[in-house]
Amino acid sequence: MARRIRLAKPGAEIPFTGERATPFVTEPLLAEHLHRYFTALDLCAGRKVLDIACGEGYGAALMALNGAAAVTGIDIDAATIERARRVYSLPRLRFETGDAQQPLALATGSVDLVTCFETIEHVVAQEALLAELARILAPDGVLLISTPDRERAGAETSPNPFHERELSLAEFRALLAPHFPHLTLRHQRQLTGSVLSDPEAGFTAEQVFWEREGFLEFSAAARPSAPRFFLIAASRVAPVALPTGLLHDGRILASLRKALRAARG
C-alpha cells in the first residue's frame, strides 16, 4: 500500500541529552521512536488519543495531523510542554503538564487510545500507572505501549541511569494482563544494511536475516534476533492487529557515514 505522511514542523532545535528524542536527532534511535508512532497511526484514526510522557511533542503532533479526532500530550517537564504548545500549535491538539506516576486529570473512559512509549521503565509504581491508564480508556480502547527488553545485549554492562525498573517480556506481560486480556506483541530493534524483497509480493516466507557477529563472521536466521524493545497493543475487547515491517532512514545513515569520514580525518 502506498502512503505518505508528514511530521509537524518542530521549530527551534532543543539539545539532545540521550533520552528525550526530537526530530532533530541524527542517531538511529530516532527511527525506533518514529516507527512506534507510525504504527499508532492506523489505531488513532477518528479517535481521542492520550500521548503520555509525550516529551518534545512531535509524536502527538504527528497523530493530530494524520487522522486523530483529538490528541492530548502530557509530560512532567513544564518547560518542554510550554515549548510544545508554541511550536506545535495545531487543531485537535493540546499539551498539559502532568506526572505519569500521579492520577491523571481525565475522566474515566474518556480516551480511545493511549500511546505510552519508553515510559514505564522510568516509573517506580508501574502497577499504579497501568491501572490509571486502564481507568481512562474506554471499554473498547487500546493501550499501545513499548519498553526496552531488560535482557537485551549490553543491558547488564551499560545500565540506563534514567530507568527505575526494566522488564523482561514475562514481567511486561504480567503487568498488563490484569487489566488487558488481549495482548498483541511485536519485537523491535534497529537494523542497518540491505533489504531483498519480491517486487510482486514484498517479503516472502523464505526470508533470511543475516547478522554480523564479528569483522569476518555472519550468521543466518529466519527472523531478526535479539529484540531491543517490546511493543504491545493491549485491549479488553478483542486482539488488536499490529503491522510488521521496516522503517528505512537513509538520511540518518548518510549522517553517520559523514561523521565516520570526519573521525578518520
What does the pLDDT look like over 178-214, one tens digit per residue? 999 999 999 999 888 888 888 887 777 788 888 888 8
pLDDT-based confidence at residue 250 (cuts at 50, 70, 90): confident
Q: What is the pLDDT of residue 151?
A: 87
Confidence check: pLDDT of 255 > 80: no
Q: Which residues pair with 233 in a beta bridge?
A: 144, 184
Side-chain half-sphere CA neighbours of 226 within 13 A: 12
Instruction: Please state, in angstroms and as integers, the Cα–Cα distance from residue 91 to each residue in 66, 69, 81, 111, 120, following that order.
Output: 11, 10, 16, 18, 29
CA 208, CA 132: separation in Å to the nearest integer? 42
With b for 16 or more beta-carbon neighbours within 10 A and e for fewer, the 77-108 pattern comes to eeebbebbeebbeeeebbbbebebeeebebee
Give Cβ neighbours of residue 122 (< 8 Å, ≥ 6 apart).
53, 100, 162, 163, 164
Q: What is the pLDDT of residue 21?
A: 83
By three-state DSSP, how is residue 162 classified? coil
Q: What is the pLDDT of residue 1?
A: 61
Confidence check: pLDDT of 11 > 90: no
Nearest Cα to Cα of residue 68 among 95, 40, 29: 40
What does the pLDDT look like over 127-148, one tens digit per residue? 999 999 999 999 999 999 999 9
Confidence check: pLDDT of 265 > 70: no
**Predicted model pTM:** 0.91
By three-state DSSP, how is residue 183 classified? strand
Nearest Cα to Cα of residue 176 among 104, 236, 241: 236
Confidence check: pLDDT of 155 > 80: no
What average pLDDT score do residues 64-76 get? 97
Pairing of strands 218-221, 137-148: unpaired
With b for 16 or more beta-carbon neighbours within 10 A and e for fewer, the 110-127 pattern comes to ebbbbbbbbbbbbbeebe
Identify which has the larger pLDDT, 222 or 97. 97
What residue ranges in the chain does DSSP mark as E strands?
48-52, 70-75, 93-97, 111-117, 137-148, 182-188, 209-212, 218-221, 229-235
What are the helix (H) ranges across the chain? 29-44, 58-65, 78-87, 126-136, 169-176, 250-264
The number of angstroms, rounded, from the C-alpha of 82 to the middle of its chain's C-alpha atoms is 22
Pairing of strands 182-188, 70-75: unpaired
Under a CB-based contact definition with an 8 Å cutoff, are residues 191 and 246 in contact? yes
pLDDT-based confidence at residue 22 (cuts at 50, 70, 90): confident
Sign of CA dihedral 80, 85, 139, 37: negative
Pairing of strands 70-75, 48-52: parallel
pLDDT-based confidence at residue 172 (cuts at 50, 70, 90): very high
CA 257, CA 250: separation in Å to the nearest integer? 10
Q: What is the pLDDT of residue 153?
A: 76
Apex 117 CA angle, 115 and 119, nearest 5: 115
What does the pLDDT look like over 231-243, one tens digit per residue? 999 999 999 999 9
